[in-house]
Structure 1
Amino acid sequence: MSASESSIAIARTAARAASDKIAQDIIAMDVSERLAITDVFLVASAPSERQVNAIVDGIEEELAKQDLKPVRREGRSEGRWVLLDYAEVVIHVQHQEDRVFYALERLWGDCPTVDLQLGDGDGEGASAEAASNDGE
């Protein structure tokens, strides 16, 4: 079973919002085959705590326009690794240093990526890589 279309749509909306706030290395992984609790992990990073929080604000604002609110939010006060749990999609916005240290992509590397359709190079190549794995 693959991630639902609604989960993919949420991930794409969040990815565009993150990209608008200059998030780096945006990638989404379809974890639906490995986890029963969610379909997609979206991961993005930034070089400072302030920018991590700005990305989180942008994502929450954009998803709120679709009447979506996180069921859980963690790490906001530190601004190093903020987790937004939207049930179908779990969003991780990490400081670059924490992203390298925790290496979520390596941990979930056997999961297919989701084509975020960012298109113009936003996400620093994540959308091109994701397009090659879409539909797995």
Structure 2
Amino acid sequence: MTATDRSIELIKAAAQAAADKLAHDIIAYDVSDVLSITDAFLIASAPNDRQVKAIIDEIEDRLRDELDVKPVRREGEREGRWVLLDYVDIVVHVQHAEERVFYALERLWKDCPELPLPDDALATRGKAAEHAAAHGVEDGATQDGAFS
């Protein structure tokens, strides 16, 4: 099974919204073969809590206005370090750059195929790791993929 056309449409719109708000390291995975609860994950990050919230707000507004879809769940907004939007077909994770490097979600989903994204989203790669390194944050994952 692969992600549906609708899921891919949602991912692309969410990725473009994130890029428009200057998100870092936008990536999407087709998780439909390994999870039954959703088709795809979009992961993005930002250098501060305020920007995390701005990215989430833009994604939510864009998907509601352009594709007439609202999240069924929104978690983590109060802290602004890792906010999740659950649209059933897709799940969006926007993390503070430090959490992004520490939790390394990409390692969990590295065996899943990446989904195509708009060019603006692809141009954001490498920014979260640069920010975390500049602020002395180390990757929390060990060699075997477990977290310390």
TM-score, normalising length: structure 2: 0.81
Secondary structure of 2:55's partner? helix
Matched with 1:4 is 4
1:32 is aligned to 2:37: no
Q: Superposed, which structure 2 residues align to 1:91-130 within 5 Å?
A: 91-118=92-119, 122-124=123-125
Q: Distance in 2 between matches of 1:59 and 1:80?
A: 16
Structure of higher CA gyration radius: 2
1:18 is aligned to 2:25: no
TM-score, normalising length: structure 1: 0.88
Matched with 1:75 is 76
After TM superposition, the runs of 4+ consecutive aligned structure 1 residues lying more than 2 A away are 117-125
Report the CA distance shift for 1:120/1:59 in structure 2 as closer, same or farther (over 3 A).
Answer: closer
Matched with 2:60 is 60
Decide whether the 8 Å contact of 1:23 with 1:123 is kept in 2. Answer: yes
Matched with 2:51 is 51
Letter in 2 for 1:22: L
Decide whether the 8 Å contact of 2:83 with 2:93 is kept in 1. Answer: yes
Decide whether the 8 Å contact of 1:40 with 1:90 is kept in 2. Answer: yes
Q: Distance in 2 between matches of 1:90 and 1:120?
A: 17
Q: Distance in 2 between matches of 1:91 and 1:26?
A: 10
Secondary structure of 1:110's partner? coil
Aligned length: 125
Q: Distance in 2 between matches of 1:97 and 1:105?
A: 14
Decide whether the 8 Å contact of 2:45 with 2:95 is kept in 1. Answer: yes
Q: Distance in 2 between matches of 1:90 and 1:119?
A: 20
Report the CA distance shift for 1:42/1:10 in structure 2 as closer, same or farther (over 3 A).
Answer: same
Report the CA distance shift for 1:22/1:36 in structure 2 as closer, same or farther (over 3 A).
Answer: same
Task: Compute the RMSD of aligned alpha carbons.
Answer: 1.3
The one-character-per-residue Cα deviations of 1:10-36 (angstroms, maximum 9, x if unpaired) are 000000000000000000000000000
Secondary structure of 1:33's partner? coil
CA apart distance, 1:67: 1.4
Q: Distance in 2 between matches of 1:83 and 1:75?
A: 6
